[in-house]
Amino acid sequence: MDAKSRQIIAFYVGDRSQESAKKLWALIPKDYRENATFYTDDWQAYKGLIPEERHHVVKGKAHHIERFNCTMRQTETLGFPVKRISRLVRKALSFSKKLSNHIGAIKYFICHYNLWKALHV
Protein backbone atom coordinates (compact mmCIF):
# COMPACT_ATOMS: atom_id res chain seq x y z
CA MET A 1 0.00 0.00 0.00
CA ASP A 2 1.30 3.43 -0.91
CA ALA A 3 1.57 5.44 2.31
CA LYS A 4 0.39 8.70 0.77
CA SER A 5 -2.39 7.67 -1.64
CA ARG A 6 -3.43 4.51 0.27
CA GLN A 7 -3.67 2.73 -3.08
CA ILE A 8 -2.65 -0.90 -3.32
CA ILE A 9 0.57 -1.20 -5.34
CA ALA A 10 0.90 -5.01 -5.37
CA PHE A 11 -0.56 -8.15 -3.86
CA TYR A 12 0.18 -11.84 -3.94
CA VAL A 13 -2.04 -14.68 -2.77
CA GLY A 14 0.05 -17.41 -1.17
CA ASP A 15 1.45 -18.80 2.02
CA ARG A 16 3.90 -17.00 4.32
CA SER A 17 7.01 -18.63 2.84
CA GLN A 18 10.20 -17.01 1.56
CA GLU A 19 9.14 -18.00 -1.96
CA SER A 20 5.81 -16.12 -1.62
CA ALA A 21 7.66 -13.06 -0.28
CA LYS A 22 9.94 -13.14 -3.34
CA LYS A 23 6.93 -13.33 -5.66
CA LEU A 24 5.29 -10.37 -3.89
CA TRP A 25 8.55 -8.39 -4.09
CA ALA A 26 8.75 -9.06 -7.84
CA LEU A 27 5.23 -7.66 -8.30
CA ILE A 28 6.06 -4.36 -6.59
CA PRO A 29 6.82 -1.71 -9.24
CA LYS A 30 10.54 -1.14 -9.75
CA ASP A 31 10.39 2.51 -8.67
CA TYR A 32 8.99 1.47 -5.28
CA ARG A 33 11.51 -1.37 -4.89
CA GLU A 34 14.39 1.00 -5.54
CA ASN A 35 13.24 4.11 -3.66
CA ALA A 36 10.45 3.48 -1.16
CA THR A 37 10.67 2.87 2.56
CA PHE A 38 8.89 -0.33 3.59
CA TYR A 39 7.07 -0.69 6.90
CA THR A 40 6.26 -4.31 7.67
CA ASP A 41 5.50 -6.66 10.50
CA ASP A 42 8.37 -8.84 11.71
CA TRP A 43 7.77 -11.54 9.10
CA GLN A 44 11.00 -13.50 8.73
CA ALA A 45 10.66 -13.86 4.94
CA TYR A 46 11.11 -10.09 4.45
CA LYS A 47 14.57 -10.09 6.05
CA GLY A 48 17.24 -10.21 3.39
CA LEU A 49 14.67 -9.48 0.69
CA ILE A 50 13.88 -5.82 1.40
CA PRO A 51 17.02 -3.64 1.57
CA GLU A 52 17.83 -3.26 5.26
CA GLU A 53 18.26 0.54 5.15
CA ARG A 54 14.71 0.95 3.79
CA HIS A 55 12.99 -1.76 5.86
CA HIS A 56 11.35 -0.73 9.14
CA VAL A 57 9.61 -3.23 11.39
CA VAL A 58 6.48 -1.74 12.96
CA LYS A 59 4.99 -4.50 15.07
CA GLY A 60 1.36 -3.86 15.84
CA LYS A 61 1.17 -0.76 13.64
CA ALA A 62 0.11 -2.21 10.30
CA HIS A 63 -3.37 -0.77 10.85
CA HIS A 64 -3.69 0.64 7.31
CA ILE A 65 -3.29 -2.81 5.78
CA GLU A 66 -5.55 -4.39 8.40
CA ARG A 67 -8.16 -1.69 7.66
CA PHE A 68 -7.93 -2.51 3.96
CA ASN A 69 -8.39 -6.22 4.70
CA CYS A 70 -11.56 -5.33 6.63
CA THR A 71 -12.67 -3.11 3.75
CA MET A 72 -12.46 -6.07 1.36
CA ARG A 73 -14.72 -8.06 3.68
CA GLN A 74 -17.15 -5.32 4.80
CA THR A 75 -17.43 -2.51 2.25
CA GLU A 76 -21.21 -2.48 2.19
CA THR A 77 -21.21 -0.59 5.49
CA LEU A 78 -18.40 1.83 4.62
CA GLY A 79 -19.88 3.72 1.67
CA PHE A 80 -17.44 2.30 -0.86
CA PRO A 81 -19.31 1.75 -4.16
CA VAL A 82 -18.05 -1.79 -4.88
CA LYS A 83 -19.59 -4.59 -2.85
CA ARG A 84 -17.42 -6.58 -0.51
CA ILE A 85 -15.65 -9.77 -1.54
CA SER A 86 -18.10 -12.12 0.10
CA ARG A 87 -15.90 -15.14 -0.54
CA LEU A 88 -13.46 -13.69 2.06
CA VAL A 89 -16.11 -13.74 4.78
CA ARG A 90 -16.22 -16.79 6.98
CA LYS A 91 -19.27 -19.00 6.51
CA ALA A 92 -20.27 -17.14 3.33
CA LEU A 93 -22.39 -18.77 0.66
CA SER A 94 -20.00 -17.43 -1.98
CA PHE A 95 -16.85 -19.37 -2.75
CA SER A 96 -14.34 -19.91 -5.53
CA LYS A 97 -13.90 -23.35 -7.02
CA LYS A 98 -10.64 -22.24 -8.61
CA LEU A 99 -7.84 -20.23 -7.04
CA SER A 100 -7.62 -18.13 -10.22
CA ASN A 101 -11.26 -17.02 -9.72
CA HIS A 102 -10.51 -16.11 -6.10
CA ILE A 103 -7.48 -14.06 -7.13
CA GLY A 104 -9.51 -12.47 -9.94
CA ALA A 105 -12.18 -11.31 -7.47
CA ILE A 106 -9.50 -9.71 -5.30
CA LYS A 107 -7.83 -8.09 -8.31
CA TYR A 108 -11.18 -6.72 -9.53
CA PHE A 109 -11.87 -5.24 -6.09
CA ILE A 110 -8.40 -3.67 -5.84
CA CYS A 111 -8.72 -2.07 -9.30
CA HIS A 112 -12.00 -0.44 -8.31
CA TYR A 113 -10.66 0.51 -4.88
CA ASN A 114 -7.58 2.20 -6.39
CA LEU A 115 -9.71 4.07 -8.92
CA TRP A 116 -12.09 5.21 -6.18
CA LYS A 117 -9.14 6.35 -4.04
CA ALA A 118 -7.67 8.29 -6.96
CA LEU A 119 -10.97 10.10 -7.55
CA HIS A 120 -11.94 10.74 -3.91
CA VAL A 121 -8.74 11.55 -2.06
- Please tell me whether the overall predicted TM-score, pTM, comes out greater than 0.75 for this model: yes
Task: Examine the pLDDT at 77 and tell me if it is beyond 60.
Answer: no
Looking at residues 56-73, what average pLDDT do you find?
A: 78
Neighbours of 109 (CB within 10 A): 20
The answer to whether the CB of 45 falls within 8 A of the CB of 69 is no
Determine the pLDDT at residue 40.
86
Average pLDDT value for the chain:
83
Of 38, 42, 61, 41, nearest in space to 51 by CA? 38
